[in-house]
Structures are given as C-alpha cells and as structure tokens.
Amino acid sequence: MYPCIDIKLDGILHNISLLKNKCKENNIDFCLVTKMLVGYKKLVEYIIDNADIRIICDSRIKNFSAFSEIDVEKWLIRSPMISEVEDVIRYSDVSFNTELDVIEKLNVEAKKQNKIHRIILVYESGDLRDGCYINELSDIISECLMMENIQIYGIATNLSCVNDTLPDKDNMADFDDTIKKLENHFNRKFKVVSGGASSSIPMLYKNELPESINNLRMGEAVYLGNIPVIDEPFENAKTDNFILKAEIIELKSKPSVPGVKLEETSLIRKRAIVALGKQDVYLPGLKCVDESCTVVGGSSDHIVVDVSDSETQYKVGDIIEFNMSYNCVLNAMNSKFVFKKSFIK
C-alpha cells in the first residue's frame, strides 16, 4: 500500500542505546519525545519495551490519551491550553508551564480529580519561544508553593526550536546560574533540571553540560540520527529509519521550464509524478534516496521528480524512495493518506 513510510525499528533502538549510554556517563536521565510518532501506540509500546524507557514526552495531550494504558511517566512538554486542563490532569503526570493562570486552573482540576499534578517550569534561554525569566519564575514558584494540588517538579529550558539558538557554554552557564539562584532562594533542590533536547548532543558528547542538568529530552536524534540546526548526524547514528515510498503515476518527457511547448525547446527532461503531495509532506524536506533524482516541485496531491539522470529505468507503477527531514517526517506521520509500515505484529 502506497504511499508509505518504512520505519526501521532496529535503527531507532540503536540510536536510543547510544544516547542513553552517553547520558548515563553524564548522570543525565534520558527522556523519549514521542510527538513525531503521532499517537502510534504499537510503535511507542515497542520502543518502550525494547529500550527500557521510563519517561515519554509529547506536545499533544490527545496522543497521551491513546497511551493511557502504557505504564511510563508522561510529560506534556507544550504549555497546556486552559481548554484542555481536564485532560492534562487525566492523561499526563507532568506538564511544562510558563503561565500562572494556567497553573491555577491545573490546581483546581487536580483537586477535582483527587490528584497531585507535577509541573516543570520553563526558563527562557534565548531562543524566544516559550519560557520565563528568573524574576517571573521566582514569582510563579512562590504562588505554586501555596497550591495544594500542584507540585513543582523541576525547571527546563528550550533551545533550537524557533530561532536556531544552539546550546552553548554561555546560555547553559546562565541556565545553571538561574537554577542555583532559585534553589538557594527557596532552599530546595529541583528533582528535574531538563537542559534541552537533541540540539544538546554536541555539548553532551564533549561533557560540557553543567552538572546541575540531570535530564535531556530526545526526539529528532532518536528517529533520524540528526542534530538539529547543525543538520548533521551524531557519531555512529542510524539516519535512514524513516523512508518514504511513493508510486509513480505518470512518467513523461517534458520541457524543463513551464510555458514552453515540447517542439520549441531542446531542454527536455524525464519527469516522474508520484501520488503524494503537500498535504502529506513538507516538500523542502524531501530528498530522493536515488541521488541522481531530484524533487523539482509539487502540488497538494502530486510531487514531480526529475529522473533523467538515473541509471534506473523507471516505469509507471514503480516506487521512488525518499529520505526526510524532521518536519517532513512529522507531516507524513500525521497524514492519514500515508501508510505506516514498521513490521510490528
């Protein structure tokens, strides 16, 4: 059935093993980010069972509702919407937060459900997505300490998400200093200090992360073996764990520029159209496995591939394979028109 994503489980487990071992060397807990798996329960269960995962992170509470029977700690790593507070308390154990108004609603709902909900507050380290500066964090912590059904679990930071700000010695030292100041001020140690995600790998491998950091959240590096922003694989990583396959529905020679008749130019190229489109994938993130082929464009339901230089004699009905960037995989995994093939029984 096409189009489909061929998911290579051994490669995913291989990457997790490498990253977990490196985290362990640095006294850091490894968390698996599952948002790219978009609620694919069997796949998540398989990875948890075979990689000994204790904590999973996701940005959509709906995905956690599908995982309600999976016995691991579940972290909602996007600040909750007030409209979803009831489900946040029901389906997650921990949520990342930056707004006191939301935390107050979580406290009320947690009391209704007779639960203690743990929160991780987010510090702004310079990427300018979600996060608070130290004075606001201090104010929020003061308020949270008076809430009966909220427990402050830790502090986290995000980098490389919006403005490609990589973790470095300066912003990590600032984060470390913030942690120490807050712990001294409130005379308490945070159980979790989560210092970033896949973009932290260069510092992790050089043992340059501050000692206060005891947690990292990994997604892209696990699934694609890739370090964000740098856009390079980490050492010994498997990078072909998600291969997109699409069927050729047209194969014709056409001018290489639009608006020109076939008989009016010598610039003729062989173009394959595959049954896949922009509603399924992020086109800039697609690269043909056959490196002599090139994605030249597409529409909502069609992708055009120049196959002129390939040694393969493609024909209608053949399959073209693509490597994908993180955003591309995320789109394709979300598409109901793309079949997911992982060989899980």
* Tens of pLDDT, residues 303-327: 999 999 999 999 999 999 999 999 9
Q: What are 162-182's pLDDT values in tens digits? A: 888 999 999 999 999 999 999
Catalytic residues: 35
Superfamily for 9-228?
Answer: Alanine racemase (3.20.20.10)
Which amino acid is it at 267? L
Q: Strand, helix or coil at 110?
A: helix
Percent of the chain at pLDDT > 70 equals 100
Residue 236 has a pLDDT of 98
143 or 266: which leads in pLDDT: 143
The DSSP code for 234 is P
Q: Does domain 242-341 have CATH number 2.40.37.10?
A: yes
Q: pLDDT band at 194, cuts 50/70/90?
A: very high
Check pLDDT > 70 for residue 345: no
Beta-strand pair 73-76/55-58: parallel
Contact between residue 321 and residue 289 where contact means Cβ atoms under 8 Å apart? yes
Rounded mean pLDDT, 91-118: 98
- Kindly state the tokens that stand for 287: 């690269």
**Distance set, CA 76 to CA 69, 96, 252, 280, 302 (Å):** 16, 6, 48, 25, 35
* Cross-strand pairs, 305: 272, 295
Give per-residue pLDDT as tens, 215-233.
999 999 999 999 999 999 9
Return the domain boundaries, the chain. 9-228, 242-341
Give the integer Cα–Cα distance in Å for 269 and 308.
6
